[in-house]
Every structure is written in structure tokens, then in C-alpha cells.
């Protein structure tokens, strides 16, 4: 069941949360605006990134890697085999483009 977190923490304390207030807020938002809160948060983050282009981190290599991953999923589904992705040709330093 989504919106439920239950189990035991490493210290042995039991955890059981249903996040009722969050579920109600999500449902009210969907009824009022026709979409979930997460898409609104993503659009706000995108708008903020577009207003300050110096913080954009995605480059063309990200898109190519996504295409490779999607092709691997389709190929694996078609053949029934596990598909290994090749290492990337370009290594980008962590934090580059910030």
C-alpha cells in the first residue's frame, strides 16, 4: 500500500505511519487543480532552473544515456536476456556545469 511506512528501526523501535494528513492534502490538491503536488513541485523547480541558467546540470550526454537505458529495456523484453550497458564514453567531473 502506498503512503504507508512500517517496520522496525535499527534500534528496535517500531515504526508505523500512514501519512493521513499528506494523503488528504494530496487528494484535495488533485480535486482542486487536476494534478498531483509532485508535478507542481517539478514545474516550480524547472522554472527556477530556467530563470538561472548557470545552475543547469543536464547535458546532451544525459539524454544519450537515457536513450541507451530505454533501448536496453526494450531489447531485454524482446529477447528475455539481461542487457548490460556499456560504460559511458565521456566522464564528467562531479559538479561540472554548476
pTM over 0.75: no
17 φ, ψ (degrees, to nearest 5): -125, 140
What lies within 8 Å, CB to CB, of 85 at 6+ separation is 68, 69, 72
More confident residue, 8 or 48: 8
pLDDT (tens digit per residue) in 10-37: 888 998 888 888 888 888 988 998 888 8
Measured distance CA(28)–CA(36) in Å, rounded: 9
Percent of the chain's residues with pLDDT above 70 = 76
Contacts of residue 64, Cβ cutoff 8 Å, sequence gap at least 6:
none
Residue 61 has pLDDT above 80, yes or no: no
Which run of H or of E encompasses 60?
A: helix 60-79
Amino acid at each position: 500500500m502506498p503512503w504507508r511506512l512500517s517496520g522496525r528501526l535499527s534500534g528496535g523501535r517500531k515504526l508505523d505511519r500512514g501519512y493521513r494528513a499528506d494523503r488528504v492534502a494530496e487528494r484535495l490538491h488533485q480535486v482542486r487543480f487536476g494534478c498531483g503536488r509532485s508535478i507542481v513541485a517539478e514545474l516550480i523547480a524547472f522554472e527556477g532552473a530556467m530563470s538561472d541558467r548557470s545552475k543547469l546540470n543536464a547535458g546532451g550526454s544525459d539524454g544519450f544515456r537515457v536513450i541507451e537505458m530505454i533501448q536496453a529495456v526494450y531489447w531485454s523484453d524482446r529477447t528475455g536476456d539481461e542487457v548490460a550497458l556499456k560504460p559511458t564514453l565521456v566522464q564528467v567531473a562531479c559538479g561540472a556545469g554548476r
